[in-house]
């Protein structure tokens, strides 16, 4: 059954890097070949474990960037002082192996049967699970109305830009650039605040289902802003990525 993750004891298994794609100068998508992948749901994530030669291990969580039914992939942003992300975004090669555990997550998931309308709000690499949701929406033929608000530092930092553009006739997408904007920019500028939310979010009476993902401070600002707009907290799902994108 597509989209249903089989419930069973979760174990670490070895995955092989099947492909790597550069999304932005600091972001890379890694497609993985996982021998016993049980399938996953849009919005879930997986845990990655790396082991150095001397036995030192590091674990991180990454949202699954692909829709159910597609090959498993994660999109990783290189953090300035990161320990794992520089390795995954710069060093890791096709054919390399790493351990992963997943899929996990039963809260921050979207099914095509969930009633809409849908509001997706992303900060930085928070777009990753939301892109899986958008792909799943397309794959399932769902016509649930969608509004997307995506906050990035600069235009080159917008992840999946072309793909998100391809949804333009099907969803209402708004972009805000917080650091610098190109001269011909027609989108929003500056951080997401209550005024911007009031302008682009669904009116509360439409009872939308909302997914907010990104750095912790971004998620808290947005969630608070939505509640002020009258959104039901129970219909606002949040996933925090920590200081700046990674977990």
Partner 1 sequence: MDTLDGNALAGLFAEVFGAEMTNVTVTCRTCGFTAAIGETVVYPRLPGAVARCRNCTAMLIVITKVRGVNCVDMLGLA
Partner 2 sequence: MSPITRGFRGRRNMLAGAENRVPPGQYMTDGFPVLSAGPTPHTPLDQWTFSIRQDGGELKSWSWEEIQALPAENVTVDIHCVTRWSKLDTEWRGVSMDTLLGAVEHDDGYILAFCDGGYTTNLPVADVTGGQAWVAYEYDGGPLDPEHGGPARLLVPHLYFWKSAKWVRGVELLDHDEPGFWETYGYHMYGDPWKEQRYSGD
Q: Would you tell me which residues interact with partner 2 (CB under 8 A)? A: 12, 14, 49-53, 56-58, 81, 83-84, 87, 91-92, 96-99
Q: Which is nearer to partner 2, 7 or 57 (CB)?
A: 57
Cα 148 from Cα 130, distance rounded (Å): 9
DSSP assigned state of 235: G
8 near partner 1 (CB under 8 A): yes
* Minimum distance from residue 89 beta carbon to partner 2 (Å): 13
* Minimum distance from residue 107 beta carbon to partner 2 (Å): 22
Cα 25 from Cα 77, distance rounded (Å): 9
Identify the three-state secondary structure at position 22. Answer: strand
In this structure, are strands 97-104 and 13-24 parallel, antiparallel, or unpaired?
antiparallel
198 to 15, 60, 146: CA distances (angstroms): 43, 34, 16
* Minimum distance from residue 164 beta carbon to partner 2 (Å): 32
Looking at residues 46 to 65 of the shown chain, list those that interact with partner 1 (rule: CB under 8 A). Answer: 46-47, 61
Nearest to 211 by CA among 110, 106, 136, 77: 110
Cα 30 from Cα 28, distance rounded (Å): 6
Query: How many C-alpha atoms does 60 have within 13 Å on its Cβ side?
Result: 25
Cα 154 from Cα 122, distance rounded (Å): 14
Q: Which is nearer to partner 1, 66 or 175 (CB)?
A: 66
- Of these partners, partner 1, partner 2, none, which one is at the site of residue 142 (CB under 5 to 8 Å by kind)? none
Q: Which is nearer to partner 2, 98 or 171 (CB)?
A: 98
* Minimum distance from residue 10 beta carbon to partner 1 (Å): 4
33 near partner 1 (CB under 8 A): no
- Of these partners, partner 2, partner 1, none, which one is at the site of residue 87 (CB under 5 to 8 Å by kind)? partner 2
Q: From residue 186 to residue 225, what is the string marking binding to partner 1 with x (rule CB under 8 A)? A: -----------------------------xxx--------
Q: Evaluate whether 101 touches 59 at the Cβ level (below 8 Å).
A: no
Cα 237 from Cα 40, distance rounded (Å): 18
Identify the three-state secondary structure at position 176. Answer: strand
* Minimum distance from residue 19 beta carbon to partner 2 (Å): 17
* Minimum distance from residue 197 beta carbon to partner 2 (Å): 26
Contact positions vs partner 1 (CB under 8 A): 5, 7-10, 45-47, 61, 101-102, 104-109, 215-217, 237-243, 247
């Amino acid at each position: 059954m597509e989209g249903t993750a089989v419930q069973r004891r979760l174990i670490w298994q070895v995955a092989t890097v099947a492909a790597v794609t550069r999304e932005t100068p600091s972001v890379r998508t890694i497609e993985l070949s996982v021998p016993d992948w049980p399938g996953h749901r849009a919005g879930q994530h997986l845990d990655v474990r790396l082991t150095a030669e001397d036995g030192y291990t590091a674990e991180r969580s990454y949202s699954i960037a692909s829709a159910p039914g597609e090959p498993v992939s994660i999109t990783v942003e290189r953090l300035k002082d990161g320990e794992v992300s520089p390795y995954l975004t710069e060093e890791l090669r096709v054919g390399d192996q790493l351990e992963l555990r997943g899929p996990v997550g039963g809260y921050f998931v979207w099914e095509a049967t969930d009633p809409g309308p849908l509001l997706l709000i992303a900060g930085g690499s928070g777009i990753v699970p939301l892109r899986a949701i958008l792909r799943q929406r397309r794959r399932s033929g769902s016509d649930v109305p969608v509004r997307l608000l995506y906050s990035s530092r600069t235009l080159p930092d917008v992840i999946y830009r072309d793909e998100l553009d391809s949804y333009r006739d099907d969803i209402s997408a708004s972009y805000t650039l917080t650091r610098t904007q190109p001269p011909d920019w027609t989108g929003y500028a500056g951080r997401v605040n209550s005024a911007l939310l009031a302008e682009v979010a669904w009116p509360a009476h439409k009872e939308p289902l909302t997914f907010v993902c990104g750095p912790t401070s971004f998620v808290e600002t947005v969630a608070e802003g939505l509640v002020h707009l009258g959104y039901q907290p129970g219909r606002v799902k949040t996933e925090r990525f920590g200081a700046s994108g990674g977990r």
